[in-house]
C-alpha cells in the first residue's frame, strides 16, 4: 500500500496541526489532575490524523481481467443501475452504473477498459450530496470517454459531493488508456458514474459493495 500524492499537503498540514494541539493540550493540563480529559482529547486528535491518512491510501491490487471486461473504476457501493439518456457526449440511451464512495473508501480512480481516450472535459458546478439525483449533472465533475478496440465507447464521470471539493484527473485526449491504471482521484465523499452501451452484460446490482480493479461491472 502507498499514500497518494494528492494528499501529501493535507496530511502534512494535519500532522502539524495535531502536533501543535497536542503540545497545547499537554501544556493546558500539565498542572492539573484531569488525565482522563487529557487522554480523551489525545485520542480524538490521533483518530482524526489516522482518518485523514487512511483516506489517501492506495492499496496494491492486481487487475486480472480480459479485454472485453469492464472493470470497476472505484471502491464503494452501487447505487444506480438503470437505462438513462446520456446528454453530454453520446446524446442517446445508455446503461448508467453509479458507485457511491464514502469518506472511508479508497478514492483513487482507475480506467475500466483499455483503449483510446477520445474525450475529456471538466465541469465546474454545485456540491450537492453525492446521492442526489441531480448531482451527476449539476455538481462539479469531470467526464472521460475511452474508445474500446471494438469501437464501442464508454463514458465515466467523477462527481464531487457535499464534502468532496476537488476533482483530480490525469486522462488526456489521444492518450492510450490502460485498464486498471489510475486516471484520477476525488478528495473526500463522492461518486463515479459509468455509461455503457445498451448491449453490455451487467454483472452488478444495486447495493453491491465493489472494489476498484477487482470487481467486474460488466462485459461486452
Over residues 82-87, the mean pLDDT reads 95
Which range scores top for mean pLDDT: 100-109, 124-133, 146-155? 146-155
Q: Are 192 and 158 in contact (CB under 8 A)?
A: yes
User: Cβ atoms within 10 A of the Cβ of 217, count?
Assistant: 24
Average pLDDT, the chain: 88
Structure pTM?
A: 0.83
pLDDT (tens digit, 9 = 90+) per residue, 91-114?
Answer: 999 999 999 988 888 889 999 999
Residue positions annotated with a catalytic role: 190
pLDDT (tens digit, 9 = 90+) per residue, 193-211?
Answer: 999 999 999 999 999 999 9
Distance CA 213, CA 117 (A): 19
In this predicted structure, the answer to whether residue 165 has a pLDDT above a threshold of 80 is: no
Q: Domain 69-219: which topology?
A: Glucose Permease (Domain IIA) (2.70.70)
pLDDT (tens digit, 9 = 90+) per residue, 54-69?
Answer: 778 888 899 989 999 9
CA atoms 195, 65, 61, 6: torsion sign: negative
Amino acid at each position: 500500500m502507498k499514500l497518494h500524492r494528492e494528499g501529501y499537503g493535507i496530511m502534512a498540514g494535519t500532522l502539524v496541526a495535531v502536533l501543535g494541539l497536542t503540545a497545547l493540550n499537554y501544556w493546558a493540563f500539565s498542572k492539573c489532575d484531569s488525565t482522563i480529559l487529557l487522554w480523551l482529547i489525545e485520542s480524538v486528535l490521533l483518530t482524526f490524523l489516522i482518518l485523514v491518512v487512511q483516506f489517501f491510501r492506495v492499496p496494491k491490487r492486481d487487475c486480472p481481467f480480459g479485454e472485453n471486461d469492464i472493470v470497476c473504476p472505484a471502491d464503494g457501493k452501487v447505487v444506480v443501475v438503470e437505462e438513462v439518456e446520456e446528454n453530454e457526449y453520446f446524446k442517446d440511451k445508455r446503461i448508467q452504473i453509479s458507485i457511491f464512495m464514502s469518506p472511508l473508501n479508497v478514492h483513487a480512480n482507475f480506467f475500466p477498459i483499455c483503449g483510446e481516450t477520445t474525450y475529456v472535459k471538466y465541469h465546474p458546478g454545485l456540491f450537492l450530496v453525492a446521492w442526489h439525483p441531480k448531482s451527476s449533472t449539476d455538481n462539479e465533475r469531470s467526464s472521460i470517454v475511452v474508445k474500446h478496440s471494438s469501437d464501442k465507447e464508454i463514458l465515466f464521470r467523477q462527481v464531487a459531493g457535499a464534502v468532496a471539493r476537488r476533482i483530480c484527473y490525469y486522462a488526456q485526449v489521444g492518450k492510450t488508456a490502460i485498464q486498471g491504471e489510475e486516471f484520477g482521484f476525488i478528495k473526500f465523499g463522492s461518486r463515479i458514474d459509468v455509461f455503457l452501451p445498451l448491449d453490455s452484460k451487467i454483472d452488478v446490482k444495486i447495493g453491491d459493495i465493489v472494489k476498484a480493479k477487482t470487481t467486474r461491472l460488466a462485459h461486452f
